């Protein structure tokens, strides 16, 4: 994996947009214009990777949704990027009949079946447009890459493959098959884009195992099919500089139920938890004023601002995993550097004015013009920096408001202590009955984590006490039913997950506040420092990558699609530790696990870890799913 | 990686065709195709394509002659590849005229596109196409101005280099130094400048009587000559430097002009907003005044009603008893 997944996908997209020819390096080439048409899946895939400006630079004049009303634009080639579903095919046939564009380049996100291809062919024949359909491609890009080393499967219809859908009691076999097929299809596209055949390991007895079996079968079939195997040819040779195959670890959400509910303290995870953050885009309401407007007046209009947090934003890349107080300080630092640079540029103005009349200025003029040129050319950079600083200040302020109003730092500290089984200084009941510490959802989350991580179940009377306290606070108790079931089930299967030792050390409050005269007033918020600890998923990965023997992972199944005969054994053939790994969680993932894996990869030099999940859900969405499951 | 299934598609087309033939569905005769192909040649996109081909021609022309244009030319290079200054100026002029006509054509196309009534999507598409062409033209113009800047810079550097040599010249005397062809003219003029005072001095010396030929006076005159020469040299030097700087400043000026134009549009929009705001505020004031009046009037009516009610009560009471 010399290039990251994101780069590979971007390269594939750019090639597709260039009429499926590799893009030329010549910057002053003739412009060729085209129209891009996508459906919602295509939109989700393209939007984290390419901005509108980049699309314009590649010659895309219009980008439209497939199912919108489109007017005919003659003599323009059109590039379609859609999923091969029934309705999309029908709409394409309709377009062909209406002769909307001059030529058509069809790109299907995942492989199209022969019968649907024939549908398009018959529509094209009927409309006499066969020559207009210039190229048809299977792109195999059915996954969404959010970061350099993180991907998720789908965003549009994620209820179909969510945790709720997989684990509900009334699920049918056919439904399960359909869900598994979707997941396996996307994973297959992922490996095709990556250009590598992995070694698969998965636990026994749950959804992850089913996915692994199907994926293994699909990869095997494709490798055997010598005529059009996707893993041979120059695709492989170009992208592969490592001779080792990556390790693909499939995990099920059931192995660790506490992490999705956990309150977080790192920047990206906080944004995902507290604000509306989807596909690298934050949507916030601006001007949410503190004091209510006087009676009778017109309500103040709140405008919604959208911010894109992209890979080009250096501050974001550096700090998305840092704890929140660090982020606040860094924003302040950036603001200071920006102000000094701005002052320099303004200073230049006074220099220019003074030295205009001096006779000897002509020789000095050369320096000044050079200075002026450099200042003018650095102006766009400065403006961009200012925009980013504004963005992060707004986002961080919004997050801070949430933290203060819901006392999220208290929750975080308490949960960390729960998960590391260290002594608790405050009783759980106190926190739950505290009226101004967090929303009912927060309290429910805290209680669920307590229930999950407790070594033995709390006694009945205690439980009743907690339940009444929770009901007083206004929580809904249905997730609890489901967690009780889950706990009973997992107790039978294996030992409960150990969350490792973690320490949470609150820093001296006053020293920090004195040091940073920052705008983001952090007083009243505890300054917590995270210590390195490993979540269950990271530990599983560690064991498998380093070939350590551990009762948890010893009976994981082993699949190697390249072997001639599929074996049922779970003895790995390969004894060396792996250098690259891909972790995939079936049933929902979150940024906390992702951050933990990134830290682990940094800690172990030279290992690359990619995190994937079937869908990204923050704690609120996960709780909703649990309550739906508990209501059955 | 992406898989090209165009051949598969063509195969399916054939299958469908044979199937249709078997079932007996009649195929449309392909005569409509010919009609469609001969679409009118006039229209937006052929014209746009024409502009692009023109710009490409300009770009090729510039790139082709770039090497000759930029080369400073050394003494030993052959005559064939060197360009005279005239040729260079000719190229500059032609390129400028060409670029102006291209931008004119783009502007015309834009006006046409706006005038023509078509759907919003087509308008957006055409606007974007014209933007792309403009960006392309700007890229080619940048090529040209880069070339030109390099050429001017080289000339300035050359002049500066050759400036140093005549200083030694006038002191030492006529030394045959290898000079570049370009600067032979200036050099000869300088030499003549330095020679003329010497000559006049010699003549003067020869014509004069011995009493004037004191070594101090000769030296004084020589010094004065040298001072004059150095003054002229420095002046010419400064002029050349200024010329180079002016080119740089013109480039900066271009950037600023662009920014100022951009600000102009923004200021216009701000102006509109402000005008709208003042109107809104005025209307708001009117509304408030009306509301106050209504409020007052309302109060009067309430009072009146209450008084009426009490009077009627009194009346009824008096009537009853």
pLDDT digits (tens, 9 = 90+) for B166-197: 554 444 444 333 333 334 444 444 444 444 44
Half-sphere exposure of A413 (CA within 13 A, CB side): 19
| Dist CA B14 CA B261 (whole Å) | 58
Contact flag A369-B16 (C-beta cutoff 8 Å): no
> Under a CB-based contact definition with an 8 Å cutoff, are residues A117 and A52 in contact?
no
Nearest to B242 among A133, A139, A362 (CB): A362
For an interface test with A, the pick among B6, B12, B284 (most A C-beta atoms closer than 10 Å) comes out as B12
| Dist CA B300 CA B297 (whole Å) | 5
| Highest-scoring range by mean pLDDT, A180-184, A440-444, A560-564 | A180-184
Structure confidence at residue A205 as a pLDDT band (50, 70, 90): confident
Cβ neighbours of A27 in B, within 8 Å: 139
pLDDT at B14 (0 to 100): 87
Domain ranges of chain A: 5-141, 145-255+535-630, 304-352+373-405, 408-487
- How far, in Å, are A79, A125, A301, A505 from residue A399 at the CA level? 40, 57, 21, 22
**Terminal Cα distance for chain A, rounded:** 44
* pLDDT above 80 (res B222): yes
The chain A residue lying nearest B118, using CA atoms, is A71
| Dist CA A450 CA A418 (whole Å) | 6
At a CB cut-off of 8 Å and minimum separation 6, what does B160 contact? B237, B240, B241
* pLDDT above 90 (res B276): yes
* Complex confidence, ipTM: 0.70
pLDDT at A416 (0 to 100): 80
**Would an 8 Å CB–CB cutoff place B241 in contact with chain A?**
yes
Convert the pLDDT of each residue in A93-122 to its tens digit. 888 888 888 888 888 888 888 888 888 888
β strands within B39-151, DSSP E: none
Contact flag B20-A16 (C-beta cutoff 8 Å): no
| Dist CA A13 CA A417 (whole Å) | 46
Contact flag B129-A230 (C-beta cutoff 8 Å): no
Domain ranges of chain B: 42-72+83-163+235-263, 282-320
Helices A478-493 + A619-630 axis angle, to 10: 90
Q: Reduce the DSSP state of residue B215 to 3 states and report it.
A: helix
* pLDDT above 70 (res A243): no
Kindly state the average pLDDT of the residues B260-281: 94
Query: Among candidates A478, A492, A467, which has minimal Cα distance to A458?
Result: A467
At a CB cut-off of 8 Å and minimum separation 6, what does A529 contact? A323, A504, A505, A506, A507
Count of Cβ atoms closer than 10 Å to residue A564 Cβ: 8
In terms of pLDDT, which residue wins out, B18 or A428?
B18
| Highest-scoring range by mean pLDDT, A460-469, B67-76, B280-289 | B280-289
Query: Among candidates B161, B140, B112, B122, which has minimal Cα distance to B53?
Result: B140
| Dist CA A263 CA A445 (whole Å) | 8
| Dist CA A182 CA A109 (whole Å) | 13
Cβ neighbours of B131 in A, within 8 Å: 56
pLDDT at A621 (0 to 100): 85
* pLDDT above 90 (res B130): no
Count of Cβ atoms closer than 10 Å to residue B48 Cβ: 21
Convert the pLDDT of each residue in A471-519 to its tens digit. 877 777 888 888 888 887 776 544 444 555 444 444 444 334 444 444 4
What share of chain A has pLDDT > 90, as a percent? 0
Window 243-282 of B, Cβ < 8 Å to A: 245, 248-249, 251-252, 255-256
As a whole number, the mean pLDDT across chain B is: 77
Nearest to A376 among B56, B119, B255 (CB): B255
> Under a CB-based contact definition with an 8 Å cutoff, are residues A120 and A112 in contact?
no
pLDDT at B301 (0 to 100): 96
* pLDDT above 90 (res B270): yes
The answer to which of A135-149, A255-269, B37-51 has the lowest mean pLDDT is B37-51
| Dist CA A404 CA A414 (whole Å) | 16
pLDDT at A61 (0 to 100): 86
| Dist CA B200 CA B198 (whole Å) | 5
Burial of A459 (0-12, 13-18, 19+ CB in 10 A): exposed
| Dist CA B187 CA B185 (whole Å) | 5
| Dist CA A599 CA A611 (whole Å) | 12
Count of Cβ atoms closer than 10 Å to residue A326 Cβ: 15
Structure confidence at residue B165 as a pLDDT band (50, 70, 90): low
In terms of pLDDT, which residue wins out, A129 or A1?
A129
| Dist CA A46 CA A142 (whole Å) | 11
**Would an 8 Å CB–CB cutoff place B177 in contact with chain A?**
no
Q: What is the CATH number of domain A5-141?
A: 3.40.50.2060
* pLDDT above 50 (res A293): no
Structure confidence at residue B277 as a pLDDT band (50, 70, 90): very high
* pLDDT above 90 (res B303): yes
Cβ neighbours of B122 in A, within 8 Å: 71, 73
Query: Among candidates B182, A116, B82, which has minimal Cα distance to A106?
Result: A116
Sign of CA dihedral A448, A451, A452, A454: positive
> Under a CB-based contact definition with an 8 Å cutoff, are residues B218 and B201 in contact?
yes
Cβ neighbours of A56 in B, within 8 Å: 128, 131-132
Contact flag B2-A12 (C-beta cutoff 8 Å): yes
Sign of CA dihedral B131, B132, B133, B137: positive
Sign of CA dihedral B46, B47, B49, B50: positive
Count of Cβ atoms closer than 10 Å to residue A516 Cβ: 16
Contact flag B119-A71 (C-beta cutoff 8 Å): yes
Strand ordering across the sheet containing A304-308: A276-278, A281-285, A304-308
| Dist CA A100 CA A462 (whole Å) | 69
Report yes or no on whether pTM surpasses 0.80: no
Count of Cβ atoms closer than 10 Å to residue B195 Cβ: 16
Burial of A508 (0-12, 13-18, 19+ CB in 10 A): exposed
Query: Length of chain A in residues, anyone?
Result: 632
Q: Reduce the DSSP state of residue B295 to 3 states and report it.
A: helix
In terms of pLDDT, which residue wins out, B152 or A362?
B152
| Dist CA A392 CA A386 (whole Å) | 10
Pairing of strands A60-65, A34-38: parallel
Kindly state the average pLDDT of the residues A28-49: 84
Sign of CA dihedral B256, B258, B264, B269: negative
pLDDT at A208 (0 to 100): 83
At a CB cut-off of 8 Å and minimum separation 6, what does B130 contact? B48, B106, B109, B110, B113
As a whole number, the mean pLDDT across chain A is: 77
Cβ neighbours of B3 in A, within 8 Å: 111, 137-138, 140, 228, 230
In terms of pLDDT, which residue wins out, B202 or B128?
B128
CA distance A131 to chain B (A): 10
> Regarding the domain delimited by A145-255+535-630, which CATH topology (the fold level of the hierarchy) does it fall under?
Rossmann fold (3.40.50)
Contact flag A230-B52 (C-beta cutoff 8 Å): no
CA distance A217 to chain B (A): 20
* pLDDT above 60 (res B75): no
Nearest to A139 among B2, B132, B238 (CB): B2
> Under a CB-based contact definition with an 8 Å cutoff, are residues A282 and A518 in contact?
no
CA distance B247 to chain A (A): 11
Nearest to B125 among A62, A111, A137 (CB): A62
Kindly state the average pLDDT of the residues A210-223: 86
β strands within chain B, DSSP E: 3-4
> Under a CB-based contact definition with an 8 Å cutoff, are residues A251 and A203 in contact?
yes
Count of Cβ atoms closer than 10 Å to residue A141 Cβ: 28
CA distance B9 to chain A (A): 6
| Dist CA A500 CA A585 (whole Å) | 20
Contact flag B56-A30 (C-beta cutoff 8 Å): yes
Nearest to A73 among B3, B5, B122 (CB): B122
* pLDDT above 70 (res A229): no
> Under a CB-based contact definition with an 8 Å cutoff, are residues A105 and A91 in contact?
no
Kindly state the average pLDDT of the residues A32-46: 88
Structure confidence at residue A570 as a pLDDT band (50, 70, 90): low
Kindly state the average pLDDT of the residues B267-295: 96
| Dist CA B138 CA B103 (whole Å) | 10
Diameter over CA atoms, chain B:
155
Count of Cβ atoms closer than 10 Å to residue A49 Cβ: 21
CATH top-level class of B42-72+83-163+235-263: mainly alpha
> Under a CB-based contact definition with an 8 Å cutoff, are residues A566 and A559 in contact?
yes
Contact flag A369-B124 (C-beta cutoff 8 Å): no
At a CB cut-off of 8 Å and minimum separation 6, what does B236 contact? B163
A38 strand-pairing partners: A65, A81
Half-sphere exposure of A245 (CA within 13 A, CB side): 17
Burial of A319 (0-12, 13-18, 19+ CB in 10 A): buried
A559 strand-pairing partners: A200
What share of chain B has pLDDT > 70, as a percent? 73
> Under a CB-based contact definition with an 8 Å cutoff, are residues A260 and A624 in contact?
no
Cα pseudo-dihedral B96, B99, B104, B109, rounded to 10: 180
The chain B residue lying nearest A62, using CA atoms, is B125
* pLDDT above 80 (res A51): yes
CA A591 remoteness from chain centre? 7
At a CB cut-off of 8 Å and minimum separation 6, what does B162 contact? B179, B180, B183, B186, B187
In terms of pLDDT, which residue wins out, B190 or A214?
A214
| Dist CA B188 CA B195 (whole Å) | 10
Q: Matching CATH topology for A5-141 and A145-255+535-630?
A: yes
Contact flag B45-A75 (C-beta cutoff 8 Å): yes
Cα pseudo-dihedral A257, A258, A260, A266, rounded to 10: -150
> Under a CB-based contact definition with an 8 Å cutoff, are residues A497 and A256 in contact?
yes
């Amino acid at each position: 994996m010399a290039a990251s997944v994101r780069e590979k996908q971007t390269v594939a997209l750019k090639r597709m947009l260039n009429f499926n020819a590799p893009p030329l390096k010549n910057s002053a080439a003739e412009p060729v214009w085209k129209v891009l048409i996508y459906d919602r899946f295509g939109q989700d895939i393209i939007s984290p990777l390419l901005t509108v400006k980049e699309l314009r630079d590649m010659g895309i004049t219009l980008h439209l949704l497939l199912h919108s009303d489109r007017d005919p634009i003659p003599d323009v080639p059109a590039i379609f990027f859609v999923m091969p579903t029934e309705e999309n095919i029908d709409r394409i046939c309709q377009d062909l009949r209406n002769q909307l564009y001059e030529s058509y380049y069809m790109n299907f996100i995942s492989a199209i079946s022969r019968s649907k291809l024939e549908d398009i062919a018959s529509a094209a024949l009927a409309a006499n447009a066969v020559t207009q359909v210039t190229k048809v491609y299977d792109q195999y890009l059915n996954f969404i890459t959010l970061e350099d080393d993180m991907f998720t499967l789908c965003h549009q219809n994620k209820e179909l493959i969510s945790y709720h859908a997989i684990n509900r009691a009334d699920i049918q076999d056919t439904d399960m098959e359909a869900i598994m097929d979707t997941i396996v299809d996307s994973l297959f596209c992922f490996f095709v884009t990556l250009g590598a055949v992995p070694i698969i390991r998965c636990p026994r007895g749950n959804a992850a195992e089913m996915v692994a079996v199907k994926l293994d079968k699909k990869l095997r079939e494709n490798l055997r099919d010598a005529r059009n195997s996707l893993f041979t040819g120059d695709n492989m040779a170009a992208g592969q500089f490592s001779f080792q195959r990556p390790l693909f670890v499939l995990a099920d959400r059931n192995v660790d139920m506490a992490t999705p509910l956990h309150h977080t303290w790192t920047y990206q995870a906080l944004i995902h938890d507290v604000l509306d953050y989807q596909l690298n885009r934050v949507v916030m309401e601006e001007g949410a004023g503190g004091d209510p407007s006087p009676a009778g007046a017109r309500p103040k209009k709140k405008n919604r601002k959208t911010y894109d947090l992209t890979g080009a934003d250096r501050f974001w890349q550096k700090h998305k995993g840092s704890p929140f107080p660090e982020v606040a300080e860094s924003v302040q630092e950036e603001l200071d550097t920006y102000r000094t640079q701005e002052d320099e540029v303004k200073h230049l103005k006074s220099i220019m004015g003074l030295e205009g009349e001096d006779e000897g200025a002509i020789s000095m003029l050369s320096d000044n013009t050079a200075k002026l040129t450099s200042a003018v050319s650095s102006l766009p950079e400065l403006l961009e920096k200012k925009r980013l600083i504004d963005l992060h200040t707004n986002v961080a302020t919004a997050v801070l408001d949430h933290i203060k109003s819901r006392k999220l730092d208290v929750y975080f500290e308490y949960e960390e202590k729960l998960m590391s089984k260290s002594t608790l200084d405050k009783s759980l009941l106190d926190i739950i009955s505290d009226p101004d510490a967090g929303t009912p959802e927060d309290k429910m989350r805290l209680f669920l984590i307590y229930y999950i991580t407790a070594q033995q179940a709390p006694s009945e009377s205690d439980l009743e006490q907690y339940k009444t306290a929770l009901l007083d606070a206004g929580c809904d108790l249905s997730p609890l039913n489901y967690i009780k079931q889950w706990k009973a089930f997992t107790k039978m299967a294996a030992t409960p997950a150990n969350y490792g030792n973690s320490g949470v050390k609150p820093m001296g409050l006053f020293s920090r506040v004195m040091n940073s005269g920052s705008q983001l007033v952090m007083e009243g918020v505890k300054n917590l420092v995270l210590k390195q600890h490993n979540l269950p998923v990271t530990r599983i990965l560690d064991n498998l990558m380093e070939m350590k023997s551990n009762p948890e992972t010893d009976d994981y199944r082993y699949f190697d699609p390249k072997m001639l005969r599929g074996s049922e054994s779970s003895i790995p053939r390969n004894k060396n530790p792996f250098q690259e790994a891909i972790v995939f969680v079936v049933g929902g993932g979150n940024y906390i696990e992702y951050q933990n894996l990134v830290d682990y990869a940094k800690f172990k030099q030279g290992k690359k870890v990619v995190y994937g999940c079937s869908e990204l859900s923050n704690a609120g969405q996960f709780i909703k799913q649990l309550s739906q499951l508990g209501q059955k | 990686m992406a898989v090209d299934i165009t051949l598969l598609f063509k195969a399916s087309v054939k299958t469908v065709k044979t199937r249709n033939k078997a079932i007996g569905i009649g195929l449309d005769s392909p005569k409509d195709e010919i009609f469609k192909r001969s679409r009118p040649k006039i229209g937006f996109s052929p014209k746009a394509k024409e502009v692009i081909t023109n710009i490409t021609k300009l770009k090729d022309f510039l790139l082709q002659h770039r090497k000759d244009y930029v080369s400073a030319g050394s003494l030993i290079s052959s005559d064939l590849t060197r360009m005279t200054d005239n040729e260079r100026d000719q190229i500059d002029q032609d390129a400028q005229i060409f670029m102006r006509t291209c931008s004119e054509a783009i502007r015309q196309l834009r006006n046409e596109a706006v005038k023509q009534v078509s759907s919003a999507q087509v308008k957006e598409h055409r606007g974007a196409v014209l933007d792309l062409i403009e960006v392309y033209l700007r890229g080619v113009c940048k090529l040209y101005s880069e070339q030109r800047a390099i050429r001017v810079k080289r000339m300035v550097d050359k002049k500066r280099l050759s400036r140093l040599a005549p200083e030694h010249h006038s002191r030492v005397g006529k030394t045959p130094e290898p000079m570049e062809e370009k600067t032979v003219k200036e050099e000869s003029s300088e030499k003549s400048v330095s020679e003329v005072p010497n000559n006049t001095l010699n003549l003067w010396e020869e014509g004069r009587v011995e009493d004037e030929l004191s070594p101090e006076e000769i030296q004084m005159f020589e010094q004065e000559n040298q001072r004059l020469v150095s003054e002229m040299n420095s002046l010419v030097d400064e002029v050349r430097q200024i010329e180079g700087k002016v080119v740089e400043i013109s480039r900066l000026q271009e950037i600023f002009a662009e920014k100022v134009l951009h600000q102009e549009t923004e200021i216009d929009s701000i102006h509109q907003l402000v005008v709208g705001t003042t109107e809104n505020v005025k209307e708001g004031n009117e509304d408030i005044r009306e509301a106050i009046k209504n409020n007052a009037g309302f109060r009067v009516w309430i009072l009146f009603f209450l008084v009426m009610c009490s009077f009627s009560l009194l009346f009824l009471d008096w009537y009853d008893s």
